[in-house]
Amino acid sequence: VQLWSVKDEIKQDFEGTLTRIAGLGFQGVEFAGEFGPYKTNPAGLKAFLDKNKLQCAGAHVHFDQLADARFEATTAFYQTLGCANLVIPMDARGASDEGSTAMSKELSALSTKLAPKGMRIGYHNHAQEMAGEVGSTPWDVIAQNTPQASIMQQDVGWTTVAGKHPVAYVYKYPGRTVSTHYKAKFAPGT
């Protein structure tokens, strides 16, 4: 479960929400910047996850969290959680081919920097990355200009809103879809 989907609940009752998620049978969670009482205690959070038989499947992190000044602290936090997949949730540069090309260079550099730590970088789409002709969207630019190890985390709701076929992109970039976001009912703006 991507914890952004329960962002209001998790702010009110972090531990209770994760406990309920585990009780529903989910085995992993993807963090989205909210850690409740464990904001500065990754070891405590790992113990809580273990107690509830949950794994950290990934995390949404912004580029600034992986800048040189914060890189070691950010990666150490997620390594403690056993999290190997860090995904950029959105960037304004993803709205254009030029911006996506520039962003791809940054993603590629992060991929190289994260690899010795056993971690991967990825990118999550919204409708803006899927704009344009199939094969030449900003999403295609990102996929074509980042290493094979980089995750292309597709949000099928946004892909569909942009008029594209989600499964076609899974086949177009094999091995890149490590995680996917699904919405039971999609309303633009969510």
Residue 180 is predicted with a pLDDT of: 92
Q: How many residues does the chain have?
A: 190
C-beta separation of 85 from 114 below 8 A:
no
Q: Which stretches of 60-124 are DSSP H helices?
A: 68-80, 97-114
Closest C-alpha to 17, from 26, 80, 180:
26
Residues 87-91: what's their mean pLDDT? 97
pLDDT at 190 exceeding the cut of 70: no
Place of tokens 């809580």: 48
What pTM, to 2 d.p., does this model score? 0.93
Distance (Å, rounded) from C-alpha 114 to C-alpha 54? 24
pLDDT digits (tens, 9 = 90+) for 104-157: 999 999 999 999 999 999 999 999 999 999 889 999 999 999 999 999 999 999
pLDDT digits (tens, 9 = 90+) for 163-179: 999 999 999 999 999 99
